[in-house]
Amino acid sequence: MAFIFYLTHIHIGTDALLQLKSECERIGIRRPLIVSDKGVVAAGIVERVTATLSGMPCTVFDDTPSNPTEAMTRRAADLYRDSGCDGLIAVGGGSSIDLAKGAAILATHADDLKTYATIEGGSTRITSAAAPLIAVPTTSGTGSEVARGSIIILNDGRKLGFHSWHLLPRSAICDPLLTLGLPPYLTAATGMDAIAHCVETFLSAAFNPPADGIALDGLERAWAASRPQRKTAATLRQGSI
């Protein structure tokens, strides 16, 4: 398994999910709210996550829509408080991770969600009180597991961004085995998203050699994966990620 210990502790590999409980302990999460969607639950991934957290009381919110909304974010935050949770684990694609970031705000801050929108000058209003978050992505492309931003549709219809270093996931558990249940079209779409992130990173005018190296490595892996071949769970377990 590979590690990148930077702003977010990133665990990458086919056994990365096994690190989830120890990451909760490191961060101080003892009663997590798991934020996911019904498709991920139906695929059995949330069950695998809770099994990894054996002995730890968990509450599950599985109503994340394809585009996170303020109403659902509020419901998740209310469940967080009502269940006495002390941290969030987002399991799914960018929608679940973004909704969890919104819930991290609402569960610990008093004002309406729009107060914290970047365009409203709200980034500085998001404090260190935001609930700690661990991201367990089940797709390849979003990058939300290592980003400080979230996009949520407000009750007034606006689709706004929320940005703060306090929303950055403390840990990202990137286990490729969790992506195997995706429909083919989502595998292709999120794979292209990952390629786009690699290209834009490498072409950025900013000087960042480590990021350039990761971008080139990602592009090499994506090119290899685009060749006609069958990737099975057994192949992944043998070390191909």
Q: What is the mean pLDDT of each run of 10 residues along the chain (241 residues)?
A: 90 95 97 97 95 95 97 98 98 96 97 96 97 95 91 97 98 94 86 92 93 93 74 53 45
> Which of 119, 124, 149, 125 is closest to 135 using CA atoms?
149
Residue 60's alpha-carbon distances to 18, 35, 52, 140, 169, in angstroms, are 19, 6, 14, 23, 18
Give tens-digit pLDDT for 122-135: 999 999 999 999 99
* Three-state SS at 169: coil
What's the token pair of residue 188? 């292709």
What is the C-alpha to C-alpha distance for residues 105 and 132, in angstroms, rounded to an integer?
10
Given this model, what pLDDT does residue 241 score? 45
CA 80 to the chain's CA centroid: 17
CA 31 to the chain's CA centroid: 18
Helix or strand (DSSP H, E) at 26:
helix 20-27
According to DSSP, the β-strands at 133-137 and 159-163 are unpaired
**Residues in the chain, overall count:** 241
What's the token pair of residue 43? 């695929």
Q: Are the beta carbons of 160 and 114 closer than 8 angstroms? A: yes
According to DSSP, the β-strands at 32-35 and 9-12 are unpaired
- Verdict on whether the full-model pTM lies above 0.85: yes
